[in-house]
Amino acid sequence: AQTVTQSQPEMSVQEAETVTLSCTYDTSESDYYLFWYKQPPSRQMILVIRQEAYKQQNATENRFSVNFQKAAKSFSLKISDSQLGDAAMYFCAYRSGEGGGADGLTFGKGTHLIIQP
Amino acid sequence: EAGVAQSPRYKIIEKRQSVAFWCNPISGHATLYWYQQILGQGPKLLIQFQNNGVVDDSQLPKDRFSAERLKGVDSTLKIQPAKLEDSAVYLCASSLDVGGYSNQPQHFGDGTRLSIL
Protein backbone atom coordinates (compact mmCIF):
# COMPACT_ATOMS: atom_id res chain seq x y z
CA ALA A 1 0.00 0.00 0.00
CA GLN A 2 1.13 3.52 -0.69
CA THR A 3 1.74 6.05 2.07
CA VAL A 4 2.15 9.82 2.01
CA THR A 5 3.91 11.72 4.79
CA GLN A 6 3.79 15.43 5.48
CA SER A 7 6.10 16.16 8.39
CA GLN A 8 5.18 19.83 8.87
CA PRO A 9 1.84 20.21 10.70
CA GLU A 10 2.08 24.00 10.39
CA MET A 11 4.15 26.54 8.50
CA SER A 12 4.18 30.31 8.70
CA VAL A 13 5.50 32.79 6.14
CA GLN A 14 5.51 36.53 5.67
CA GLU A 15 3.40 37.89 2.85
CA ALA A 16 5.40 38.18 -0.41
CA GLU A 17 8.03 35.71 0.75
CA THR A 18 8.65 32.14 -0.38
CA VAL A 19 7.73 28.97 1.51
CA THR A 20 8.35 25.30 0.83
CA LEU A 21 6.07 22.50 2.02
CA SER A 22 7.52 19.01 2.29
CA CYS A 23 6.06 15.67 1.26
CA THR A 24 7.51 12.19 1.02
CA TYR A 25 5.79 9.07 -0.21
CA ASP A 26 6.35 5.36 -0.36
CA THR A 27 5.36 3.14 -3.26
CA SER A 28 6.54 0.13 -5.22
CA GLU A 29 4.80 1.30 -8.38
CA SER A 30 6.62 2.90 -11.28
CA ASP A 31 3.68 4.73 -12.81
CA TYR A 32 1.86 7.22 -10.62
CA TYR A 33 0.78 10.83 -10.19
CA LEU A 34 1.40 13.26 -7.37
CA PHE A 35 -0.75 16.22 -6.45
CA TRP A 36 -0.91 19.17 -4.12
CA TYR A 37 -4.40 20.18 -3.05
CA LYS A 38 -5.42 23.29 -1.12
CA GLN A 39 -8.31 23.18 1.33
CA PRO A 40 -9.56 26.53 2.67
CA PRO A 41 -12.08 26.69 5.55
CA SER A 42 -14.86 26.29 2.97
CA ARG A 43 -13.72 22.62 2.84
CA GLN A 44 -13.55 22.28 -0.94
CA MET A 45 -10.36 20.58 -2.11
CA ILE A 46 -8.77 22.69 -4.85
CA LEU A 47 -6.11 21.24 -7.12
CA VAL A 48 -2.95 23.36 -7.00
CA ILE A 49 -0.51 21.38 -9.10
CA ARG A 50 0.12 17.87 -10.42
CA GLN A 51 3.18 15.89 -11.45
CA GLU A 52 3.39 12.74 -13.57
CA ALA A 53 6.05 10.39 -12.28
CA TYR A 54 7.38 9.65 -15.77
CA LYS A 55 8.15 13.34 -16.37
CA GLN A 56 11.54 14.52 -15.21
CA GLN A 57 10.65 18.18 -15.55
CA ASN A 58 9.20 19.74 -12.41
CA ALA A 59 5.65 21.08 -12.78
CA THR A 60 5.00 24.81 -12.47
CA GLU A 61 1.73 26.75 -12.20
CA ASN A 62 2.28 30.50 -11.86
CA ARG A 63 3.60 31.08 -8.31
CA PHE A 64 3.48 27.37 -7.46
CA SER A 65 6.21 24.91 -8.38
CA VAL A 66 7.31 21.49 -7.22
CA ASN A 67 10.63 19.81 -6.60
CA PHE A 68 10.08 16.19 -7.60
CA GLN A 69 12.88 13.82 -6.58
CA LYS A 70 11.73 10.40 -7.76
CA ALA A 71 14.65 8.40 -6.37
CA ALA A 72 14.24 10.00 -2.97
CA LYS A 73 10.41 9.77 -3.22
CA SER A 74 10.14 13.41 -2.33
CA PHE A 75 7.62 15.94 -3.69
CA SER A 76 7.84 19.43 -2.17
CA LEU A 77 5.72 22.45 -3.04
CA LYS A 78 7.22 25.91 -3.33
CA ILE A 79 4.98 28.95 -3.13
CA SER A 80 6.61 32.17 -4.30
CA ASP A 81 5.40 35.68 -3.49
CA SER A 82 2.99 34.34 -0.84
CA GLN A 83 -0.39 36.04 -0.72
CA LEU A 84 -2.99 36.21 2.03
CA GLY A 85 -5.30 34.08 -0.11
CA ASP A 86 -2.79 31.24 0.01
CA ALA A 87 -3.59 30.60 3.68
CA ALA A 88 -5.17 27.13 3.91
CA MET A 89 -4.48 23.47 4.60
CA TYR A 90 -2.27 21.92 1.93
CA PHE A 91 -2.45 18.21 1.22
CA CYS A 92 -0.02 16.11 -0.74
CA ALA A 93 -1.67 13.20 -2.54
CA TYR A 94 -0.68 10.10 -4.50
CA ARG A 95 -2.62 8.39 -7.26
CA SER A 96 -1.73 5.12 -8.90
CA GLY A 97 -1.23 5.16 -12.66
CA GLU A 98 -0.84 1.42 -13.00
CA GLY A 99 -4.27 0.95 -14.57
CA GLY A 100 -6.92 -1.51 -13.54
CA GLY A 101 -9.34 1.22 -12.53
CA ALA A 102 -8.65 1.65 -8.78
CA ASP A 103 -7.14 5.11 -8.57
CA GLY A 104 -8.42 6.79 -5.43
CA LEU A 105 -6.13 9.39 -3.91
CA THR A 106 -3.96 8.64 -0.88
CA PHE A 107 -3.49 11.82 1.13
CA GLY A 108 -0.99 13.00 3.71
CA LYS A 109 -2.15 14.55 6.97
CA GLY A 110 -1.75 18.07 5.67
CA THR A 111 0.21 21.23 6.45
CA HIS A 112 -1.55 24.31 7.79
CA LEU A 113 -0.08 27.34 6.02
CA ILE A 114 -0.33 30.69 7.76
CA ILE A 115 0.44 33.92 5.90
CA GLN A 116 1.61 36.79 8.10
CA PRO A 117 0.65 40.22 6.72
CA GLU B 1 -19.35 24.02 -15.89
CA ALA B 2 -21.23 23.15 -12.72
CA GLY B 3 -19.12 21.55 -10.01
CA VAL B 4 -19.73 18.50 -7.84
CA ALA B 5 -22.86 19.06 -5.77
CA GLN B 6 -23.33 17.58 -2.30
CA SER B 7 -26.10 17.77 0.25
CA PRO B 8 -26.74 18.36 3.03
CA ARG B 9 -23.91 20.67 3.99
CA TYR B 10 -24.26 19.87 7.68
CA LYS B 11 -25.92 17.03 9.58
CA ILE B 12 -26.21 16.38 13.29
CA ILE B 13 -27.54 13.05 14.55
CA GLU B 14 -27.34 10.91 17.65
CA LYS B 15 -25.32 7.71 17.75
CA ARG B 16 -27.10 4.63 16.48
CA GLN B 17 -29.26 6.72 14.13
CA SER B 18 -28.97 6.47 10.36
CA VAL B 19 -27.94 9.16 7.90
CA ALA B 20 -27.58 9.53 4.14
CA PHE B 21 -25.53 11.86 1.97
CA TRP B 22 -26.14 12.72 -1.66
CA CYS B 23 -23.69 13.58 -4.43
CA ASN B 24 -24.24 14.75 -8.00
CA PRO B 25 -20.99 14.62 -10.01
CA ILE B 26 -19.94 16.85 -12.87
CA SER B 27 -21.91 15.99 -15.97
CA GLY B 28 -20.21 13.31 -18.02
CA HIS B 29 -17.82 12.18 -15.29
CA ALA B 30 -17.82 8.40 -15.23
CA THR B 31 -15.85 7.93 -12.03
CA LEU B 32 -17.13 8.94 -8.59
CA TYR B 33 -15.39 8.75 -5.22
CA TRP B 34 -16.45 9.11 -1.60
CA TYR B 35 -13.85 10.17 0.95
CA GLN B 36 -14.02 10.47 4.74
CA GLN B 37 -12.03 13.29 6.33
CA ILE B 38 -11.71 13.12 10.10
CA LEU B 39 -10.73 16.37 11.81
CA GLY B 40 -6.99 16.99 11.57
CA GLN B 41 -6.39 14.32 8.94
CA GLY B 42 -6.30 14.01 5.20
CA PRO B 43 -9.23 12.46 3.35
CA LYS B 44 -9.43 8.68 3.18
CA LEU B 45 -11.03 6.89 0.24
CA LEU B 46 -14.16 4.94 1.16
CA ILE B 47 -15.43 3.81 -2.20
CA GLN B 48 -14.88 4.36 -5.92
CA PHE B 49 -17.51 3.85 -8.63
CA GLN B 50 -16.96 3.59 -12.35
CA ASN B 51 -20.32 4.32 -13.92
CA ASN B 52 -22.62 2.29 -11.63
CA GLY B 53 -20.13 -0.43 -10.73
CA VAL B 54 -17.88 -0.55 -7.66
CA VAL B 55 -14.16 -0.42 -8.46
CA ASP B 56 -12.72 -0.20 -4.94
CA ASP B 57 -14.49 -0.47 -1.59
CA SER B 58 -11.64 -2.01 0.37
CA GLN B 59 -11.72 0.71 3.05
CA LEU B 60 -15.48 0.93 3.41
CA PRO B 61 -16.72 -0.36 6.82
CA LYS B 62 -19.34 -2.55 5.25
CA ASP B 63 -21.03 -3.50 8.51
CA ARG B 64 -22.43 0.04 8.77
CA PHE B 65 -21.64 1.93 5.56
CA SER B 66 -23.27 1.41 2.20
CA ALA B 67 -23.19 3.31 -1.06
CA GLU B 68 -24.89 3.12 -4.40
CA ARG B 69 -24.76 4.89 -7.72
CA LEU B 70 -27.91 4.17 -9.62
CA LYS B 71 -27.85 4.83 -13.37
CA GLY B 72 -24.22 5.83 -13.16
CA VAL B 73 -24.90 9.44 -12.17
CA ASP B 74 -25.96 10.49 -8.64
CA SER B 75 -24.70 8.61 -5.63
CA THR B 76 -25.78 8.18 -2.02
CA LEU B 77 -23.67 7.15 0.96
CA LYS B 78 -25.46 5.78 4.00
CA ILE B 79 -24.37 5.07 7.56
CA GLN B 80 -26.52 2.80 9.72
CA PRO B 81 -26.11 2.76 12.67
CA ALA B 82 -23.80 5.73 13.22
CA LYS B 83 -21.00 5.64 15.78
CA LEU B 84 -19.23 8.52 17.48
CA GLU B 85 -16.09 7.87 15.41
CA ASP B 86 -18.05 8.54 12.21
CA SER B 87 -17.98 12.27 12.95
CA ALA B 88 -16.17 13.67 9.92
CA VAL B 89 -16.53 15.54 6.66
CA TYR B 90 -17.68 13.33 3.81
CA LEU B 91 -16.32 14.48 0.47
CA CYS B 92 -17.50 13.42 -2.94
CA ALA B 93 -15.30 13.73 -6.01
CA SER B 94 -15.62 12.90 -9.68
CA SER B 95 -13.30 12.55 -12.64
CA LEU B 96 -13.61 12.15 -16.38
CA ASP B 97 -11.69 8.88 -16.45
CA VAL B 98 -13.59 5.80 -17.49
CA GLY B 99 -10.97 3.82 -15.69
CA GLY B 100 -7.75 2.16 -16.62
CA TYR B 101 -5.13 4.85 -17.12
CA SER B 102 -5.97 7.80 -14.90
CA ASN B 103 -4.67 11.12 -16.10
CA GLN B 104 -7.58 13.39 -15.27
CA PRO B 105 -7.81 15.27 -11.96
CA GLN B 106 -10.50 14.62 -9.40
CA HIS B 107 -12.91 17.48 -8.75
CA PHE B 108 -14.28 17.74 -5.22
CA GLY B 109 -17.54 18.94 -3.77
CA ASP B 110 -17.85 21.09 -0.64
CA GLY B 111 -18.51 18.07 1.56
CA THR B 112 -21.02 17.22 4.27
CA ARG B 113 -19.95 17.78 7.87
CA LEU B 114 -21.43 15.05 10.06
CA SER B 115 -21.56 15.42 13.83
CA ILE B 116 -22.56 12.49 16.01
CA LEU B 117 -23.85 13.29 19.50
Cβ separation of A101 and B99 shorter than 8 Å? yes
Q: B105: number of CA atoms within 13 Å, CB side?
A: 14
Partners of residue A109 in chain B, C-beta under 8 Å: 40-42
Q: Does B100 touch chain A (CB under 8 A)?
A: yes
3-class secondary-structure state, position B61: coil
Q: Which residues pair with residue B7 across a beta bridge?
A: B22
3-class secondary-structure state, position B17: coil
pLDDT digits (tens, 9 = 90+) for B59-93: 999 999 999 998 889 999 999 999 999 999 999 99
pLDDT digits (tens, 9 = 90+) for A5-56: 999 999 999 999 999 999 999 999 988 999 999 999 888 899 999 999 998 8
Report the relative pairing of strands B53-56 and A10-14 from DSSP bridges.
unpaired
pLDDT of residue B72: 83
* Closest residue in B to A98 (Cα–Cα): B101
* Closest residue in A to B57 (Cα–Cα): A102
Instruction: Among B42, B55, B101, select the one facing A107 at the smallest CB separation.
Output: B42
Q: Does B45 touch chain A (CB under 8 A)?
A: yes
Per the document, the length of chain B is 117
What DSSP element (H or E) covers B114? strand B112-116
